[in-house]
A and B are shown apart, each in its own frame.
Chain A
Amino acid sequence: MIGGERHLLSMADLDRDDIEQLMSLTASFAEVGERSIPKVPALRGKTIAWLFYEDSTRTRLSFETAAKRLSADTMNFSVSSSSVNKGESLRDTVETITAMGVDGIVVRHRAAGAPSRVAEWVDASVINAGDGWHQHPTQSLLDLYTAREHLGDLDGKHVAIVGDIKHSRVARSNALAFATMGAQVTLVAPKTLLPTHFEGWPVNVTHNLDEVIDDLDICYLLRMQLERQADAVVPSLREFHTEFGLDVRRADRLGDALIMHPGPMNRGVEIAGEVADRPNAVITEQVANGVSVRMAVLFLLLGSGLDLVDGRRAAA
Chain B
Amino acid sequence: MSADDVSRAIRRMAHEILERNHGADDVVIIGMQTGGVDLAQRLAADISTIEEAEAGSVPVGTLDATMHRDDFGLRPVMPEALTEIPVDPTGKVIVLADDVLYTGRTVRAALDAIHSYGRPRAIQLAVMVDRGHRELPIRPDYVGKNLPTRKDEIVDVNDEGVDLGDLLGEGDIT
Contact = CB atoms under 8 A, between A and B. Distances in A.
A31 B83 contact: yes
A40 B76 contact: no
Contact of A28 (B68, B74, B82): B82
A41 interface: yes
A31 B83 CA distance: 7
A43 B118 CA distance: 22
Interface string B100-128: 00000000000011011110000000000
A305 B69 CA distance: 12
Contacts of A268: none
B78 interface: yes
A40 B79 CA distance: 12
Nearest to A24: B79
B20 interface: no
Contact of A40 (B67, B73, B75, B84): B67
Interface string A28-58: 1001100111111111100000000000000
Contacts of B87: none
Contact of B77 (A36, A44, A305): A305
A304 interface: yes
B82 A308 contact: no
Interface in B47-86: 64, 66-68, 72-79, 82-84
Contacts of A35: 116-117
A273 interface: no
A41 B77 CA distance: 13
B78 A304 contact: yes
Contacts of A203: none
Nearest to A309: B76
B-side interface mostly: loop
B79 A36 contact: no
Contact of A32 (B67, B88, B118): B67
Interface string A10-37: 0000000000000001011001100111
A306 interface: yes
A132 interface: no
Nearest to B67: A40
Contacts of A43: 72
B116 A28 contact: no
B74 A305 contact: yes
Interface in A270-314: 303-306, 308-309
A27 B64 CA distance: 12
Contacts of A32: 67
Given A35-B117, A36-B117, A39-B116, A308 B67 contact: no
Nearest to B88: A36
Contacts of A40: 67-68, 113, 116
Contact of A303 (B64, B72, B88): B72
A27 B72 CA distance: 20
Nearest to B71: A305
A36 B76 CA distance: 27
A32 B115 CA distance: 12
Nearest to A307: B76
Contacts of A27: 82
Nearest to A28: B79
Contacts of B78: 25, 304, 306
Contact of B116 (A37, A42, A305): A37
Contact of B67 (A36, A41, A305, A306): A41
Contacts of A41: 67-68, 112
Nearest to A35: B116
A306 B82 contact: no
Nearest to A43: B72
B76 to A, nearest CB: 4
A306 B72 CA distance: 10
7 contacts: A25-B79, A28-B83, A35-B117, A37-B116, A41-B67, A44-B72, A304-B78
Interface of B: 64, 66-68, 72-79, 82-84, 88, 112-113, 115-118
Interface of A: 25, 27-28, 31-32, 35-44, 303-306, 308-309
Given A27-B82, A31-B82, A37-B117, 10 more contacts: A28-B79, A32-B67, A35-B117, A37-B116, A38-B116, A40-B113, A42-B77, A44-B72, A304-B78, A305-B75
